[in-house]
């Protein structure tokens, strides 16, 4: 058994690097479906995509409970997140402002907060680590930030999860916002985007 003594590194220069990472996150959120690269270097625990590590270091702090999903609820991950961000770890997924999830082990979307009609901003942001952001197009995304429409692959996320997400559109403005991360690349899917799955 190995004991993790020191957490993995974070940003070398938090002020500048978190700003650079934020601009990538903002660009991605403003243009759903467009692959955005988080250029800035960041330390990260083994197994966590640098793009999602940068997102957590940029956005999470003591005001934002983070829920670590199956596969990420490890000592290395917990100590890294606590050391760098000070974020409390959510016990239940519905308490989470941010949730870190693996595409292969996704819980149902309804386990997370959608916010309320009067305060929709309380809906959770899910950071989903995916095996890839390319592949055979299987979905069409439409909405603010997308000029006409954009074709997207399933990105390694199960079709049942995409179906849950597609059904969420009628709840708008309640909903959840997603970031899909692979390596240093990100794709955002805000709740305002309507998705339709081919053959579904």
Partner 1 sequence: MKQAYETSATLAGYNFAFLDEQTKRMLRRAILKAVAIPGYQVPFGSREMPLPYGWGTGGMQVTAAVIGAKDVLKVIDQGADDTTNAVSIRRFFVRMTNVATTEKTREATLIQTRHRVPETPLSEGQILVYQVPIPEPLRWLEPRETETRKMHALSEYGVMHVKLYEDIAQHGHISTAYDYPVLVNGRYLMRCSPIPKFDTPKLHMNPALQLFGAGREKRIYAVPPYTEVKPLDFEDHPFEIERWPEDCALCGAHDSFLDEVILDDKGGRMFVCSDTDYCGERREAGHTGRMSAPYKAEAAE
From candidates 166, 169, 177, 197, binder to partner 1 by CB under 8 A: 177
Residues in Cβ contact with 87 at an 8 Å cutoff, skipping those fewer than 6 apart: 56, 60, 61, 62, 64, 65, 66, 81, 98
36 binds partner 1 (CB under 8 A): no
26 binds partner 1 (CB under 8 A): yes
The minimum distance between CB 199 and partner 1, in angstroms, equals 27
Cα of 196 vs its chain's centroid, Å: 20
From candidates 2, 5, 118, 199, binder to partner 1 by CB under 8 A: 118
170 binds partner 1 (CB under 8 A): no
On the 0-12 / 13-18 / 19+ scale of CB atoms within 10 A, 153 is: middle
Specify the residue for token string 């439409």: 142
171 binds partner 1 (CB under 8 A): no
Specify the residue for token string 């069409």: 140
Footprint on this chain of partner 1 (rule: CB under 8 A): 12-20, 22-23, 25-27, 29-31, 40-41, 58-64, 97, 116-118, 120-121, 123, 125, 143-147, 172-173, 177, 190-192
């Amino acid at each position: 058994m190995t004991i993790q003594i020191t957490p993995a590194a974070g940003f070398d220069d938090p002020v500048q690097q978190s700003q650079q990472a934020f601009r990538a996150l903002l660009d991605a959120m403003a243009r759903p479906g467009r692959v955005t690269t988080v250029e800035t270097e960041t330390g990260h625990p083994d197994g966590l995509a640098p793009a999602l590590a940068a997102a957590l270091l940029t956005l999470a702090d003591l005001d934002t409970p983070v829920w670590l999903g199956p596969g990420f609820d490890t000592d290395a991950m917990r100590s890294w997140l606590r050391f760098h961000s000070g974020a409390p770890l959510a016990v239940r997924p519905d308490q989470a402002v941010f949730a870190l999830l693996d595409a292969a082990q996704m819980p149902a979307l309804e386990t997370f907060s959608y916010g309320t009609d009067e305060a929709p901003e309380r809906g959770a942001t899910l950071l989903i680590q995916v095996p890839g952001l390319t592949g055979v197009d299987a979905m069409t995304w439409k909405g603010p930030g997308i000029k006409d429409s954009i074709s997207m692959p399933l990105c390694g996320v199960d079709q049942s999860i995409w179906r849950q997400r597609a059904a969420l559109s009628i709840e708008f403005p309640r909903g959840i916002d997603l970031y899909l991360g692979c390596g240093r690349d990100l794709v955002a899917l805000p709740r305002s985007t309507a998705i339709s799955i081919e053959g579904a």
